[in-house]
Chains A and B, each alone.
Chain A
Amino acid sequence: MSVQPSIGKSLNRLEGHLKVTGAARYAGEYPGENLVYGYIANSTITKGKIKSINTKTALSLKGVIEVFTHKNRPSLAWFDFQYADMDAPPGAAFKPLADAEIKYNGQPIALVVAETFELARYAATLINVEYEEDTFETNLIDNLDKARSPKLGLATFLKPPPTKPVGNYQKAYEESYAKASGEFYHGTEHHNPLELFATTTIYEKDGKLTIYDKTQGTVNCQIYVANVFGLKYKNVQVISPYVGGAFGSGLRPQFQLFFSVMAALELKRPVRVTLDRHQMFTFGHRPPTLQRTHFGADTTGKIQALHHAAYAETSRFEDYTEVVVNWSNVLYPSKNTLMEYKIVPLDVFSPLDMRAPGGSTGSHAIESTMDELSYALNIDPLELRLINYSEIDESTGRPFSSKELRQCYLQGAEKFGWSKRSPQTRSMKRGNKLVGYGMATGIWETMQLPARAEAQLTKDGKLHVLSAITDIGTGTLTVMTQIAADELGLSMEDVSFSYGDSKMPFAPIQGGSFTVSTVGSAIKAAGSALRHKIYKKAQAIKGSAWKNLKIEDVVFNGGCVSLKKNLSDTISFREIIAANKGRMIKTTNLSLPKSFKLKKYTRAAHSAAFVEVEVDEELGVINVTRALTTVAAGRIINPKTARSQILGGMIWGISKALREETITDHEMGKYMNQNLAEYHIPVHADLHELEVVFVEEKDDIVNELGTKGVGEIGLVAIPPAIANAVFHATGKRINQFPIHFDSLL
């Protein structure tokens, strides 16, 4: 029986068993001979200088090996660019222990290295620091007058600035038949993956470093370490086999990596540095953002004016940006637009991409304003989106590579029972609860970056593929194995995938929903090249019988190359390897996005979210009783892992709308709820009916696999859909996230 394709099958994660049984080893769990433990001490002021730092008492404890501060930090790379990683925004990346200056609250100011973690943690409290405090600003809203345009840099490539104004938005808005506007805000949010950031650096006998790191980019960290510590790339190996969630927080090398490497090099022994939960709040985060919108429409509901402005926090040292405001005109045509995006530098650490960065922020304002507009027009919110449905991206004039958003709307509405919604607010009830239906559109750009992959036909005739890419829990291992298997017509059991190691062929950071398109394409390219190599060998072995064949005349299936016309004329991979003197056959290939072709199109995944909420009228308590997301994301390699991704995104959406927030005390300039008891992410009791539907979408343009990525799209539409449902239920529009139940009193 022939082997059936793996792509499209709902398969369990290959590493799932290892993870749930605890057999999977994470970065902070790797052993090392004479391993010692580092703990970071953090600044307790927000801005100023260290006047003096006394480590004597800490050092006097038995078992404390060394304390590193800016006073005794080894001489390292000097220039800003040497600290810049693949995801660094324009500016000067943070340099740990570089000098006495304090730039933000919680800044690392020392590393204690000791025989045990708890001893290092205790010794860190004995470091005596005298500060010279400066005044500081951490409140976005109080500093809007300092908003400015961000500097351009490499990051601009993936995060384009707003489109130029078109027409006369002001005039068109004023003359619009129906108008909707709003001011939207969310505060700081932290990624809070369950796995704490950790690095175990093994100092090898020859001075080489083997580094086990929690990261979303092994090569990114390898380059960073080599640049900062003046090492040769080949002497730095970064391994990240399992990642317990990251959501963007691992896109840049975090400072525990720096500290672990610095101490290992200085002490010439293995050093592990693990952050604790408090310290997970001392680096990147989703920036607080204020948005303003003005949408106007004519009597038919056609949008005439779009204004979307965003003011987002950044640090004093880097211009972090997101694509917040570019989306509305991609979705909804308008002859008059004004898109503005400004940043406000404050005394905080640089923000960092957090799941659906920018997109989830922008959709909050855009989709809530669309909802508001639907009431102003007395048109059903879904109908309004259909009236303004566009087959081309009006913001650039380009066609979409594919766009099945209409099907997302229609299939979603049907399955959800949208037609049962009565248009008036406060008109639906269940017992003493107000019931509300809300919907929203989601969009996320489809990207592809360059990557390499290696494919090997091993000595035992099986396929082994390699890439430096991580698997951040999304199912990368499983999905890449599926892609590789199909390329050679093998079953999953005959394919293995090695990954999460900077020694393997280049892969970029894992984020932006671009991993399958990027690394999957590289694996497909390497698999295809390997197929050609195998075919050549087969042809040589078969001699004159196959001499005049083309590769199209044979089929690869079940570990054999066979003639299409006569399947019994066949040769197995094992025979080919035997003829190759038992040596493996391998190839390494580069996959590049076809930029000239791609830039003629707007490429995006789309979704529609439909949500039902129940609101206790007297007490304000909100429950999301039902949520449905329909997704058009091209070809779905593994519906099971893809569904999990969308579900995770939807739950995050519930979190964003109703639960999570980093509470900042602006008098002190610090985050106050630095633990998982007080930083509220949803628990099971918050989750009710959740459903995912993938809409058929064929895309021959985005890449050879036709995939668009599903990491972000599940999150984008849910938060505004919830806010819209709350409005429908209560008649109250709360534009600040999270919506606290008491705001409905």
Chain B
Amino acid sequence: MNNFDYQRAGSFDEAIRQITAKNDTKVVAGGTNILDLLKYFLTSADRLIDINHTGNHHDIRETESGGLHLGALATNAETAYHPLVESRYPLLAQSILAGASAQIRNMATNGGNLLQRTRCYYFYDASSPCNKREPGSGCSAIPGYNRIMAILGTSEHCIAVYPSDMSVGLAALGAVVNVRGPQGDRSIPFSEFHRLPGETPHLDNNLQHGELITGIDLPQKGFAENYSYLKLRDRNSYAFALISVATGLELDGDIIKDARIALGGVAHKPWRIPEAEQFLTGKPAVRESFAACADIVLQGAVPYKYNSFKIEMAKRAIIRNGMMALDPSSQLPGAQPSV
């Protein structure tokens, strides 16, 4: 990698000042993605600001509104195994543990997880045209080997998939991302945090220049009774999702009172369709309901040469995961299919 300056920031505010003061400054927290990107010259930095020693934002605590606050610098492992996450938001714990490897989760932070870059082969190959890496250079994935690429919300400029499992769980739970920037603090609903590629595939999310994630707030409702995360992939661990589904259900007997369904592995952001969730409200918790819901979620899906299987696979995964959510005790480690 190229030589860069490395500085430890004493506080988030100091880090924000440094990011805005100088071009080509990047932030390092867990370092599980940025170091790879730097080593393979997929991103560059003249200066790396280490925010691990800012003292703040490592905490996981209950909020005044009865939800849970996850510090941006708490690690994925700390979060997944936190007693309050395990008991109140097991869907989130499952989705985190379905991602990466134990070693990576020990290093990776919650804020960093939201900001990880796509695993598109062409993005990762510095000599291939890629609009995400080099705006205007073209998309190699559209005519290329696109088995792992998106089927929803794509554009003619980019069909990359956003790879985070944790974010699929957070999207289903309706989390809120807290950010701080030169203009002060603000909150972004999870569904508005990540972007679709559109004309600007180089932008993964709606963070403004100089803004840092300080934490993630979970609402009170955690779907801790009926939930499931299902991940379909080319190996049973340490592989990114071809399709993943986070499902949370609130049941009244056999009737669905409230439902959340988010998909991973299909789009440039976690895919959530509120109409599909509303469709389930008042319906019996049976395969047929989930099947009809799946059709709504996958409306408008456009396959490419090598990933047409994803449409049918996503539908089946939604159905299966609905059934798995009815009986969390049946679930297997690694977000593998059960029941």
Could you tell me which A residues sit within 8 Å of B by CB distance? 44, 118-119, 121-122, 125, 276, 278, 432, 616, 618-621, 623, 659, 663-665, 667-668, 670, 672-675, 677-678, 680, 682-686, 738, 740-742, 745
* Min CB gap B278→A, angstroms: 26
Q: Is B336 an interface position by the 8 A CB rule?
A: yes
Contacts of B319 in A (CB 8 A): 618
Query: Is B237 touching A675 in the complex (CB atoms < 8 A)?
Result: no
What DSSP secondary structure best describes chain B's contact surface?
Answer: loop
| CB-nearest residue of chain A to B2 | A122
Out of A44, A125, A682, name the residue touching B235 (CB < 8 Å): A682
A667 contacts B143, C-beta separation under 8 Å = yes
Per-position contact with A for B297-339: 1 when CB-CB < 8 Å, else 0?
0000000000001001100110110000000000001101101
A621 surroundings in chain B (CB, below 8 A)? 232, 336-337
Can you name 29 A-B pairs with beta carbons within 8 Å? Answer: A122-B1, A122-B2, A122-B3, A122-B41, A125-B126, A276-B39, A619-B313, A619-B316, A619-B320, A620-B313, A623-B236, A659-B235, A663-B121, A663-B147, A665-B140, A667-B143, A668-B140, A668-B144, A672-B122, A672-B125, A672-B144, A672-B145, A678-B121, A680-B234, A686-B235, A686-B237, A738-B234, A740-B234, A741-B232
CA A616 – CA B338 in complex, angstroms?
A: 9
8 additional A-B residue pairs with CB within 8 Å, beyond A125-B41, A125-B126:
A276-B39, A618-B316, A618-B337, A664-B145, A678-B119, A678-B121, A686-B236, A741-B234
B255 touches A (CB below 8 Å): no
Residues of A within 8 A of B313 (CB): 619-620, 742, 745
Provided the pairs A619-B320, A673-B121, A683-B238 are in contact, do residues A121 and B140 lie with their beta carbons within 8 angstroms? no
Q: Could you tell me if B145 and A685 are in contact, using CB atoms closer than 8 angstroms?
A: no
Residue B145 contacts which of A620, A663, A686 (CB distance < 8 angstroms)? A663
User: What CA separation (Å) do A498 and B122 show in the bound complex?
Assistant: 47
Contact A667 B236 (CB under 8 A): no
Shortest CB-to-CB span from B142 to chain A, Å, is 11
6 tightest A-B CB contacts, nearest first: A685-B236, A44-B127, A672-B121, A742-B309, A685-B237, A122-B2
Contacts of A432 in B (CB 8 A): 339
Q: How far is the CA of A677 from the CA of B103 in the complex (A)?
A: 14
Proximity bits, B126-156, A CB within 8 Å = 1, else 0: 1110000000000010011101000000000
Say whether chain A's binding surface is mostly helix, strand, loop, or mixed.
loop
CB-based contact A670/B320 at 8 Å: no
Instruction: Please tell me which one of the listed residues B122, B126, B235, B312 contacts residue A683 in the complex, with CB atoms under 8 A apart.
Output: B235
Q: How far is the CA of A122 from the CA of B339 in the complex (A)?
A: 51
In whole Å, how far is A186's beta carbon from the nearest beta carbon of chain B?
A: 15
CB distance from B309 to the nearest CB of A (A): 4
A44 to B41, CA, bound (A): 14
- Minimum CB–CB distance for B3 against chain A, Å: 7
* In the assembled complex, B279 has its CB within 8 A of some CB on chain A: no
Given the interface contacts A619-B232, A672-B125, does A683 sit within 8 Å of B237 by beta carbon? yes
Which residues 1-22 in B have Cβ within 8 Å of A in the complex? 1-3
CA A274 to CA B41, docked complex, whole Å: 18
- Residues of chain A with a CB closer than 8 A to B140's CB: 665, 668
- Residue numbers in A under 8 Å from B126 (CB-CB): 125
Contact B40 A278 (CB under 8 A): yes
Contacts of B147 in A (CB 8 A): 663
Nearest-CB residue, chain A, relative to B330: A431
Chain B residue nearest in CB terms to A126:
B2
User: Which residues from chain B contact A276 at a C-beta distance below 8 Å?
Assistant: 39
**Cβ 8 A contact of A675, one of B41, B124, B232, B236:** B124
- Contact assessment for A742 and B242 in the assembled complex, using a CB-CB cutoff below 8 Å: yes
Nearest CB in chain B: distance from A680 CB, A: 5
Identify the closest chain A residue to B235 (Cβ): A680
Identity of the chain B residue whose Cβ is nearest the Cβ of A119 in the assembled complex = B3
In the complex, what residues of B have CB within 8 A of residue A672's CB?
Answer: 121-122, 125, 144-145
Q: A667 to chain B: which residues have CB within 8 Å? A: 143-144
Given contacts A663-B145, A740-B234, contact A619 B337 (CB under 8 A): yes
Q: How far is the CA of A667 from the CA of B144 in the complex (A)?
A: 7
